[in-house]
Structure 1
Amino acid sequence: MQQLALISGADPAHALDALFVNAPLRDYDQRPRTNDYTLPVLGMAYIATYAQKAGFNVGVLDAEAHGLGIVETAELVNAARPRWAAMNLLAPTYEMSARIAANLDPDVALMVGGHHAKAMPDRVLADPRMTNLRALVLGEGELRVAALLEDEQRRRELPGVLWRDPLLGTRATGIPVGKPNPQMPGPDVNGLPYVNRAFLPQDPYQAAPTQTDRRLAVSRGTGLLKAAARSGHTEANIVGSRGCPYNCTFCGAAVSANPDLTIRVRNPENIIGELDQLHDEYGVTAFRFVDDLFLGLRRVIEEQMEAFTRHRIGERYVWDATGRINVLNRLDDHELDRLVQNGLREVALGIESGSDRILKAMDKRIDAEMTERVAHRLVKHGIGVKGYFILGFPGESHDDIEATVRHIRSLWAIADSNPGDVRASVFEFRPYPGTPVWTTLTDAGHNPDDLLAYGDVDLTEDGADESMRQRDEFNFSVGIQFGDVPLAKVRSTLATLTREQHQRNQNTQGAAA
């Protein structure tokens, strides 16, 4: 079957022990995708790599990356005939995963994990579409998945592994025998093997040159950056840490939603080893740290940058990272210069709103003035800013949403007179189970079934097609007005900002051509 070639990383000459399935964000049989790039499933690839190192034949089927529909995905899994199918459950795509699971052959055992499985395990276990479900893994899965592949009966002794007793219909839970292994729920991040990129069909990838690359070629002047300004970088995504110390009320990574999770940062030498391996094997010269908060603790920034300086990373690579505004606010000009010298190209910031009232409700521990000051200092140093924003947050008023629009346009104006750029990525609010705001909403009387009714939003009628957003991803809604602003107004505002950002992108590309 030619479609089996879409399975990444497996040895086709031997039977599959496990096929890790990333569900599509929507059913592409119903509406084909517009864009052809999606973020790689690094968490799934970490688990697959660990299982492979343990001697199992495993593969990854990234249905989102390949734009597959529900039926086609299930048929492909059945044709591959793995002992186990494994899924990462996310709230907005849970229905996609459940529909795939319902179409799996009965002899394919199913294991699941992910944020949604952790937040609502009993709901998942009780779903009649999950009849093949034999293990639900709470938290990080590397060690426990490998143990399950070795022997399904080991689930009885694995902490944080659940299943439904077939006779009693009750939840069954693994109980460790003897002294439990503390690394089972959260492994040593420095002891894990580097991700085998064979499991990722779109990573590394060849990126087109950006306006930021062209500006850097002028301002920093290295041979690497000048070459990238002409032909772009070969880029790869990477994880530098696990966990987040903050408690933003809307976020699945909020510390209150993950009380069992210990925050762990990879040793700088371990990270640099992976950078160099990716360069040697694939020619990668640009990296994107996609963990929750790579630049989120000052002591970690100092430790990483000392090693980056020693290894002359900035002379060889550029990199993008997630950052925390209140932490970056405390860095002095010398520390920002050091980030630049070490190759920082762009930092992604959870700005979220231009209204201090809403920022307080989100528990962001920042205000709009701080965001503007930090963004100004970053772009002045030639560091790009990608700002994430949320519209339609619970309690948001018309004045709040207008404050966000003014804030975004003010940040664009600042960028126009500085070397660094500002990109705005704006989304409609949607609640995630397990987060603080989910508890607030359900306590206020919202029905969980209504809060879980995610649907993808097509903004084409508002004048913003998906090609403007460059990715089909994460444009979801549960169709509920949570604040004072009607959904139609939220979406028309989102579309307006999307069009304006798209026009800015076109203008900068045209100016550099």
Structure 2
Amino acid sequence: MRHLTLLSGADPAHPLDAVFVNAPLRDYGLRPRTNDYTLPVLGMAYIATYAQRAGFNVGVLDAEAHGLGVEEAAQIINDTAPRWAAMNLLAPTYEMSARIAEKLDPQIALMVGGHHAKAMPDRVLADPRMRHLKALVLGEGELRVAALLEDVQHRRELPGVLWRDPVLGSRAGGVADPCTSGQMLGPDINGLPYVNRAFLPQDPYRAVPTPTDRRLAASRAAGWLTTGAAHGHLEANIVGSRGCPYNCTFCGAAWSANPDVKIRVRSPENIIGELDSLNARYGVTAFRFVDDLFLGAKRVIDEQMEAFTRHRIGDRYVWDATGRINVLDRCTDHELERLVANGLREVALGIESGSDRVLAAMDKRIDAEMTERVAQRLVAHGIGVKGYFILGFPGESSDDLTATVRHIRNLWAIADQHPGDIRASVFEFRPYPGTPVWQTLIKDGYKADELLAYGDVDLTQDGAEESMRQRDEFNFSVGIQFGDVPLEEIRATLALLTREQYERNRTTGLEAAA
């Protein structure tokens, strides 16, 4: 019975066609996880939803969300006995995925996809732990996965589907029909069904108010903290687009790593339809756009906000989104005010560094001055900022690291003068296969095995125990010093900044909200 309760979205009364498996970041059978919440696997849920609409009985096993170990995850799959097990392969979780795959009943066919499968297909196909692999799907999988569930023989006519020839041992692949391959590789995202949230064990979820929420509620003497929702909105994650036009060298979404992906944005009416559907069914009133860049192109922002205004979205919902600093820098005050009026609460920005030299190496097309200017304008309008930063980027010097620490503290000082808050989320650099910086590192003599040696790092020794609690899924490293700064100093700085941010989270806005 426990197995069935951990399997999301499946019909227990009928045989299973497929279990979609999100592998854990580490073997939680050896050490329990400390995160209370992890981001939902929306891409996997899209595929599961499409397969379900096509008539297949499928479920999602989110081993990360449930904190499962390798043995328990494999046992659940074997006990539920699906025809297929499907895994999304990511570099940090590949070892966990491979260990689970190795333990599966040989009667269960295996298919895989995800960034790691796309970047290193031959390595995956040659892994003996993947010996039951029948299909490796490159790119977006909705249509091709449904075709494979119908009949594995369809793989011979599906573009971007690979497998290992059992006789020759060589790579085999489907022969694409030129009339249908474009749609198979990049489906019409407005034609896809809305994600069935039954596949997501932690979405929608009850969110904790952020410091910006507290500040704004207090300054307006009204708002969501005074309406009885003292524990926060009911929130859901959503995707508004696919693909990214930028080429940040460290990012798996970089266009040079995804030449097959055509950038597509959902129509405003399609997005608003999903917002209203989630509100009607679950009572959701807050949304997080987690695509690569929802606020990443001026034309798209204008189109979406015109529709949001027409449908009075800001009167009914609040939302957070990913954004691009150089695009927001070109927005007028009127356009920022329109974003606020339409419900924008917080924007997530890839700030990455306070060093202009490092930003140029990352191909970010921004500088520290631009970031501070944009952040000041956003928080002045009451829009919160969540900034992501990378420490230890290849070639980073002690001066570069010092500039990043100074930059973060400058941003905090800016926030202290305005209604919106700025949160800093800091990570140690780790290379992802297929990205531009990965290619550079390989040319510089690093070996793939070295760059893939992901391991979790315990930062509590730096005195940041509680502040590290919600970062359990992010404290990963390949254990290589890529710049001039020793890893010990990188990690001590990461822990210091995270501890300072944790203290700000505890205190910022509390007096105003009291």
Q: TM-score range by the shorter chain?
A: over 0.9
| CA RMSD after TM alignment | 1.3
Contact map agreement 1:37 1:471 (CA 8 A) in 2: no
Describe the SS at the equivalent of 1:230.
Answer: coil
Query: Which residue matches 2:491?
Result: 491
TM-score (norm. length: structure 1): 0.98
Cα shift at 1:430: 0.2
Contact map agreement 1:33 1:67 (CA 8 A) in 2: yes
Query: Which residue matches 1:331?
Result: 331
Contact map agreement 2:313 2:343 (CA 8 A) in 1: yes
Q: 1:11 to 1:118 in 2, by over 3 A?
A: same
Whole-angstrom distance in 2 between the partners of 1:331 and 1:223: 26
Counterpart amino acid of 2:455? G
Counterpart amino acid of 1:4? L
Whole-angstrom distance in 2 between the partners of 1:56 and 1:268: 30
Query: Which residue matches 1:302?
Result: 302
Whole-angstrom distance in 2 between the partners of 1:500 and 1:207: 22
Cα shift at 1:176: 2.2
Describe the SS at the equivalent of 1:4.
Answer: helix
Deviations 1:248-292 (A, max 9, x none): 000000000000000000000000000000000000000000000
Counterpart amino acid of 2:33? R
Cα shift at 1:210: 2.6
Q: Percent identity at matched positions?
A: 80
Contact map agreement 1:162 1:173 (CA 8 A) in 2: yes
Contact map agreement 1:36 1:471 (CA 8 A) in 2: no
Q: Which moved more, 1:318-327 or 1:454-463?
A: 454-463
Q: Aligned pairs, how many?
A: 513
Whole-angstrom distance in 2 between the partners of 1:185 and 1:122: 20
Instruction: Kindly indicate whether residue 261 of structure 2 is the aligned counterpart of residue 261 of structure 1.
Output: yes
Describe the SS at the equivalent of 1:231.
Answer: coil
Describe the SS at the equivalent of 2:184.
Answer: coil
Query: Which residue matches 1:359?
Result: 359
Instruction: Kindly indicate whether residue 392 of structure 2 is the aligned counterpart of residue 396 of structure 1.
Output: no
Deviations 1:143-191 (A, max 9, x none): 0000000010000000000000000000000002463342101100100
Deviations 1:301-351 (A, max 9, x none): 000000000000000000000000000000010000000000000000000
Alignment of 1:16-415 (within 5 A): 16-177=16-177, 179-219=179-219, 224=224, 226-227=226-227, 230-415=230-415
Whole-angstrom distance in 2 between the partners of 1:382 and 1:403: 26
Alignment of 1:460-471 (within 5 A): 460-465=460-465, 467-468=467-468, 470-471=470-471
Whole-angstrom distance in 2 between the partners of 1:311 and 1:225: 24
Describe the SS at the equivalent of 1:300.
Answer: helix
Q: 1:98 to 1:228 in 2, by over 3 A?
A: farther
Deviations 1:341-368 (A, max 9, x none): 0000000000000000000000000000
Describe the SS at the equivalent of 2:183.
Answer: coil
Q: Which moved more, 1:170-179 or 1:255-264?
A: 170-179
Q: In structure 2, list runs of 5 or more residues that go unmatched.
A: none
Whole-angstrom distance in 1 between the partners of 2:75 and 2:205: 28
Cα shift at 1:508: 2.3
Query: Which residue matches 1:450?
Result: 450
Counterpart amino acid of 1:189? I
Whole-angstrom distance in 2 between the partners of 1:223 and 1:456: 41
Deviations 1:401-436 (A, max 9, x none): 000000000000000010000000000000000000
Counterpart amino acid of 1:7? L
Describe the SS at the equivalent of 1:470.
Answer: helix
Whole-angstrom distance in 2 between the partners of 1:185 and 1:469: 39
Query: Which residue matches 2:2?
Result: 2
Cα shift at 1:457: 1.2
Cα shift at 1:219: 4.7
Cα shift at 1:487: 0.2
Contact map agreement 2:206 2:231 (CA 8 A) in 1: no
Whole-angstrom distance in 1 between the partners of 2:347 and 2:368: 17
Cα shift at 1:216: 2.7
Q: Which moved more, 1:207-216 or 1:219-228?
A: 219-228
Whole-angstrom distance in 1 between the partners of 2:171 and 2:108: 21
Whole-angstrom distance in 1 between the partners of 2:86 and 2:31: 25
Contact map agreement 1:28 1:68 (CA 8 A) in 2: yes
Describe the SS at the equivalent of 2:227.
Answer: helix
Counterpart amino acid of 2:367? D
Counterpart amino acid of 1:327? V
Whole-angstrom distance in 2 between the partners of 1:337 and 1:218: 19
TM-score (norm. length: structure 2): 0.98
Whole-angstrom distance in 1 between the partners of 2:403 and 2:172: 50
Contact map agreement 1:287 1:319 (CA 8 A) in 2: yes
Deviations 1:474-510 (A, max 9, x none): 2210000000000000000000001100011111264
Q: 1:281 to 1:41 in 2, by over 3 A?
A: same
Counterpart amino acid of 1:483? G
Cα shift at 1:225: 6.0
Whole-angstrom distance in 2 between the partners of 1:50 and 1:310: 30
Cα shift at 1:43: 0.2
Contact map agreement 1:50 1:192 (CA 8 A) in 2: yes
Query: Which residue matches 2:426?
Result: 426
Contact map agreement 1:135 1:162 (CA 8 A) in 2: yes
Whole-angstrom distance in 2 between the partners of 1:225 and 1:338: 23
Cα shift at 1:466: 5.9
Whole-angstrom distance in 2 between the partners of 1:131 and 1:426: 38
Whole-angstrom distance in 2 between the partners of 1:266 and 1:324: 18
Cα shift at 1:78: 0.4
Instruction: Kindly indicate whether residue 500 of structure 2 is the aligned counterpart of residue 473 of structure 1.
Output: no
Contact map agreement 1:353 1:404 (CA 8 A) in 2: yes
Cα shift at 1:213: 1.8
Whole-angstrom distance in 2 between the partners of 1:330 and 1:178: 41
Deviations 1:88-122 (A, max 9, x none): 00001100100000000100000000000000000
Q: 1:227 to 1:211 in 2, by over 3 A?
A: farther
Whole-angstrom distance in 2 between the partners of 1:466 and 1:169: 50
Contact map agreement 2:159 2:175 (CA 8 A) in 1: yes
Counterpart amino acid of 1:41? V
Whole-angstrom distance in 2 between the partners of 1:506 and 1:287: 23
Cα shift at 1:212: 1.9
Describe the SS at the equivalent of 2:185.
Answer: coil
